[in-house]
Amino acid sequence: MILKNVEFHPIHIIRRWGGFSFAVVVVIALASLIADSAQAKNSWVFDLPTDKLGIPEDRLSYTVGVGDLDGDGDYDFLARVWIDDDIDKDFKTITYAVRNDGKILWEFAHNMTYRDTNGDPTWTVTLSVWDMDGDGKDEVMTQMKENGTTKLVMLDGETGDILVSRSIARPRKINHATIAYLDGVNPYLVIAQGRDMVTTAYDKDLNIYWTFDNPKFYGFLSWTNIYTADVDGDGRDEIVNGSLIIDDDGTLYLDGTFGDYSNEGEAERSLVGDIDPDNPGLEWYLQRSGSTNDPYVVQPNYWEGPYLIDLDQKEIIWHHNSSKTDEGWGRMHRGWVYDVDPSPGLEIWATGYFYTGNEWQNTLNGVYGTPPAAKDVWVDGYSEKWFLYAADGTILRSQTGNHVGYPLFWDDDDTAEYYRYRGGTLLNKFKGVNIESGFAKARGSGESIQVDILGDWREEIIVASGYKLYVYSNDQPTAYPNRPSPREDHTYLMNMASYGTGLPKPLLPGGGNAPSLPTFFVDVAPNHWAYDVIKILYDQGYISGCSADPLMYCPDDNMTRAESAVFVERGLNGSGFTPPSPSNKVFDDVPLTEWYAKWAGALLEDGYTSGCGMDPLVYCPLQQHTRTEGTVFFLRMLNGAAYIPPDPKGIFMDVAPGFWGAKWIEAAYDASLIPACETTPELKFCPDDPLDRAMAATMMVQAKGLQIP
C-alpha cells in the first residue's frame, strides 16, 4: 500500500508493498521548464535530438515512459523513437532519457527487426521503469538485438549503462511487460511474448522466476498488453493477460471460461477493479474480440463483446450481445474503464466493428469477409461504433465512428475527461462542451500517456511528437489539495511502470475508483496551528464547515454572531443538536427564512444572549465577533448562562480597568480558553481584534473539555 498522508511541493510519498519499502520525494522542477501555453494548463517542451537523425518528422514513432532515473526524487522521462526505414527490414530504435529539467541524460541505440516485433516497436518492445534493487533509482528494462540474438537488458536509469543482459531463448514477435510483486516483497518484471503469449517472470537480476506456457490457452490471451492486480487480495500480485489470470506462482488462476462462453477469442482489453459498487468485491472487465482464425468474421461459436465478471463468484455479471440473433460485435480493438459519468461506479468504453439485423445474420452465414481497413462505415454492413456502458451494463451512449481518446482526471470534479491528441487534440467531457484545446498536434506515430506525475491527484498528458517531448499539466489551483493521488494505489503504480509497453490503456487504481474526495477540510492542512482542534470538532460532529463542495472550514475568516450561535447551542446540547425552526419572528433583523433564525432564537430562549439592541430587539447576525465578545460566549458555555466572572486584576496592558469586557477577558485567559495575543515585552490581549474561526474552534474545544488524541 502507499501512505495517504502526503505533503505537496515537495510531495513526500512512501512506496511500500509487503516488506519492500523506500522513500520517494516526487516534485518536478517546473520553474526550469519552458512555458508553451496559457490555456488552463502549463506546457513544458523538451527538445529531443532526433532531428540530428535526418529523418522527417512523419517517419518517427514514439513510446513514452516516466520514472525517477537519477534518484533525486523528481520524475524523469523516457522517449523511445522508432525510425521507420523502408530500405531494409531492420529498424533503428533509440531510447532517450530526459531529466525533468530537459537535459538528455543518455541515449541507448539498438536495432530490432520487423519479424521480431510484428512491425511496430511502439507497442511491441518492452519499456519498463522501476527501482528493481531498492537503491532509490529506477532501472530501465528493454530489448535489443545483438549479433543476431534478441536480448532482454536492464539499463542504469542515470547513465544508460547495461547492468544485466540476458539472451531470450525463444524470442517472439510481440513483447508486453508489467511490474508485479509476485511474492508480496520483491519486484518482478513479467513479459508476455508472441501470439501464444508465453509469459515469463524475471527477478531483479533478470533470472527466470517462472514461466507460463500452455498451448491449450492460445487464443485466450491478449496481443495488446498485460495488467497487474492483486486479484485475490492476498498481498501478492496476479497477472491479467487477456482472458486468463495467472496466479502469483505462475499457475493458472482463472481461464475465462464461463458456461457456454468458453471458446477462444482474443481479449484486447482486460482490467480488474471495483467497477460496480453494488457488486461486492472486484470485477474483471473483458473485451473479447473475434477468433484466432479471423478476428473480423464473427462465427456462432465465438462470443465477442464486452463482459463484466464477478471475481468472487467467477461468473458473468453482464455482457453485450447475449443474443446472437439480432446484433453483435466483430473485432473490438479499443476500450477502457474509468469514471467519466455521474452514474454509479465506473464506466466502460468500447469500440470496434458492430453488426445489426440482417447484417449480423449475413455475417454468421459467411456472406461478408474481412472488411476494408480504415473505414468509419463499412460498405458491406460493418459499422465502426463505440459504446459507453454504465457499471451495470446500461448503454449510456453509442455513436458511429472511431475511438474518442483516453480518459484522465484533469479538472476539479468527480468525473474524468477524455483526451485525444491525434488529428485535433481536444479535452472533453462525455456530457458537456469542449473544455480545452491547444495541445500539440502529433506528428508521426506513437501514443501519449496520461499519468499523475505531480502528485496533486490530477493527471498530466505526456506525448512525444516530431522532435519534441511535451508535458501538459493543469495549472489551475485545485480546491482539493488533500485529495489522494492515484499514485498512492499499488496497482496504479505497477501499471504506470510499464506504461510504455503495449497499446495505451488508462491507469486504473486497484480499487477501481477515482481519487476520493477529501474526508476533511481541504483548507486545513495537517501543519495548520489549529488542525487538531478543528479535526476533533469535525470528527465529533460539532462543525460542518463553511462550504460543502469543496469541503472547507475557512479557518482565517472572522466568526460572525450567527456562526457563534451554532457553536454555543451545539456546545450546550450536543454535536447532533439542531433546534426547531421558529414559527414567529424573534429578532427584527433575523428573517425566518434565514438558516440562522433557529439558532439565534434558541440562543435567546436558553438565556445566552439578549441581542445587540433592544428597541427593536436585534441580533446583528452578520456582525463579526471581537476577541472580547468571544470570551463571553465561551465562558458561559463553560460555566452556564448565569455566570458572571470576578473583578479583573488588570494583567493586560491594553485592557483599560473600566472596560466592560475586562473581567471576561481575564477569566477566559485564566481558564485557558484563549491565549494572549502578545507576551513580550508586555502581556497584551488585543480586545478589539476580530475572532477568527480557528480561534473559535480552540475556545470551543477548551470549553467542552474535549481530549485531543
Q: Report the 3 state secondary structure along 357-425.
A: HHHHHHHHCCCCCCCCCCCCECCCCCEEEEEEECCCCCEEEEEECCCCCEEECCCCCCCCEEEECCCCC
Q: Which ranges of 478-542 does DSSP label H, i.e. alpha helix?
A: 490-496, 531-539
Q: Is the pLDDT of residue 16 over 60?
A: no
**Could you write out the DSSP letters of every residue in 310-327?**
ETTTTEEEEES---TTTE
Predicted confidence at residue 466, as pLDDT, reads: 79
Strands 449-451 and 460-465: antiparallel
Rounded Cα–Cα distance for residues 292 and 243 (Å): 13
DSSP 8-class letter at 216 = G
Rounded Cα–Cα distance for residues 495 and 325 (Å): 39
Helix, strand, coil tally for the chain in percent (to 5): 15, 30, 55
Predicted confidence at residue 331, as pLDDT, reads: 66
Mean pLDDT of 131-140: 94
> Do the beta carbons of residue 307 and residue 316 sit within 8 Å?
yes
Q: Which residues of 86-124 are buried (b: 16+ CB within 10 A; e: fewer)?
A: eeeeebbbbbbbbbbebeebbebebebeeebbbebbbbb
Secondary structure (3-state) at 531: helix
Predicted confidence at residue 650, as pLDDT, reads: 94
Q: Euclidean distance between the first and final Cα of the chain, in Å?
A: 25
- Record the pTM: 0.71
Give the Å distances, CA to CA, from 27 to 46, 74, 159. Answer: 17, 5, 21
For residue 419, give the nearest of 453, 460, 385 by alpha carbon.
Answer: 460
- Residue 499 sits at φ, ψ, to 5 deg, of -60, -25
If you average pLDDT over every residue of the chain, what do you get?
A: 78
Residues 6+ apart with CB under 8 A from 375: 382, 384
Mean pLDDT of 277-303: 65
Report pLDDT digits (tens) over 480-493.
877 888 888 889 99
Predicted confidence at residue 87, as pLDDT, reads: 45
For residue 414, give the nearest of 347, 331, 492, 504 by alpha carbon.
Answer: 347
Mean pLDDT of 676-681: 93
The cell numbers describing 111, all together, are 536495432
> Do the beta carbons of residue 284 and residue 348 sit within 8 Å?
no
Predicted confidence at residue 373, as pLDDT, reads: 39
- Residue 470 sits at φ, ψ, to 5 deg, of -105, 140
Predicted confidence at residue 206, as pLDDT, reads: 96
The cell numbers describing 457, all together, are 491527484
Q: Is the pLDDT of residue 479 over 60?
A: yes
Q: Which ranges of 118-178 does DSSP label H, i.e. alpha helix?
A: 121-124
Q: Is the pLDDT of residue 230 over 80?
A: yes
The cell numbers describing 680, all together, are 513580550
Predicted confidence at residue 117, as pLDDT, reads: 45
CB half-sphere exposure, 126, CA atoms < 13 A: 32
Rounded Cα–Cα distance for residues 236 and 248 (Å): 6
Length in residues, the chain: 709
Predicted confidence at residue 12, as pLDDT, reads: 23
Instruction: Provide the 10 A C-beta neighbour count for residue 19.
Output: 10
Predicted confidence at residue 69, as pLDDT, reads: 96
Which domains are assigned to the chain? 11-31+39-496 (2.130.10.10), 531-704 (no CATH)
Predicted confidence at residue 357, as pLDDT, reads: 52
Q: Is the pLDDT of residue 657 over 90?
A: no
Report pLDDT digits (tens) over 615-650.
899 999 999 999 999 999 899 989 988 899 999 999
> Do the beta carbons of residue 637 and residue 571 sit within 8 Å?
yes
Report pLDDT digits (tens) over 405-429.
788 888 887 888 877 655 444 556 6
User: Taking phi first (over 0 means left), then psi (-120 to 50 degrees means alpha), and beta for anything else, what does residue 401 get?
Assistant: left
> Do the beta carbons of residue 62 and residue 81 sit within 8 Å?
yes
- Residue 643 sits at φ, ψ, to 5 deg, of -65, 135
Mean pLDDT of 167-195: 85
Band (pLDDT 50/70/90 cuts) for residue 478 is confident
> Do the beta carbons of residue 149 and residue 139 sit within 8 Å?
no
Mean pLDDT of 207-226: 78
For residue 495, give the nearest of 255, 225, 269, 285 by alpha carbon.
Answer: 225
Amino acid, res. 544: S
Rounded Cα–Cα distance for residues 141 and 163 (Å): 10
Secondary structure (3-state) at 492: helix
Mean pLDDT of 286-301: 52
